[in-house]
Amino acid sequence: MGKIQKITSTCKRYETELPQKQAGEIVKQKFPGEAKLYLEMDDQVLLGLYDRGVWRVRPDGQGIWDSFPWEHVQKLVIFNEEQELRLVRRGQYFLGRLRRDEACGSQAYVMDEEQKMWGEGQRADEAWSVLRSSRGASVWVPEVLGIDGGAIGLRVRKYFEFPNATEKRGLVAQIDERLLEFCPWPNHRGCV
């Protein structure tokens, strides 16, 4: 487990229903470069990369989308080291939030930790690895170095607040979390 740090962060909520086109425009605007993806689709979970309008979820060319299949997305999490956009489907629309760690934000207490992903990783090529479980399931993971035969982790940042004792809300409350990166899990020790 990591140490609690004090940083500055902002959180913008998208509480009005966003049509698919508007959700796509927010992604383009907030992520002009490369970012990582976590997608919950109608029938599968996909991990991948986004780069300037191109969505990649597999290294074999089968999972490259110039036109994103929004109609099959139940949850989209797009992230990099600085920020995360999380959108969840509600009917034909999306709701969500953008969490960004930046100098002009409010003070926040955070703790980074790694969480092990299921399965054992194998290097597929210089840019992709594949996780395989003992039950036969597999998922492609982008850009995790040094994992041959090992496990893969996910670095997560958790956001906390420490309520005033007079608020009667406990000593500490986790108010948010966001994904930071995929990482190797060497010797099952973690990556942070």
The 10s digit of each residue's pLDDT in 127-144 is: 787 888 777 778 888 866
Contact 78, 34 (CB under 8 A): no
Provide mean pLDDT across the span 12-36. 95
Token pair recorded at residue 29: 């605007």
What Å distances lie between residue 171 and 85, 155, 178, CA to CA? 28, 25, 22
For the chain, give every domain's residue range: 11-101, 106-188
> Between β-strands 45-51 and 106-116, what pairing exists: parallel, antiparallel or unpaired?
unpaired
Contact 46, 63 (CB under 8 A): yes
Give the residue, 183 or 39, on which the prediction is more confident: 39
> What is the edge-to-edge ordering of all strands in the sheet holding 120-123?
120-123, 128-132, 138-142
Q: What is the pLDDT of residue 22?
A: 95
Where residue 150 falls among pLDDT bands split at 50, 70, 90?
low
Q: Does 78 have pLDDT greater than 90?
A: yes
Give the residue, 59 or 3, on which the prediction is more confident: 3
Q: Does 110 have pLDDT greater than 80?
A: yes
Q: Does 188 have pLDDT greater than 60?
A: no
Q: What is the pLDDT of residue 147?
A: 58
Of 117, 111, 116, 114, nearest in space to 175 by CA: 111
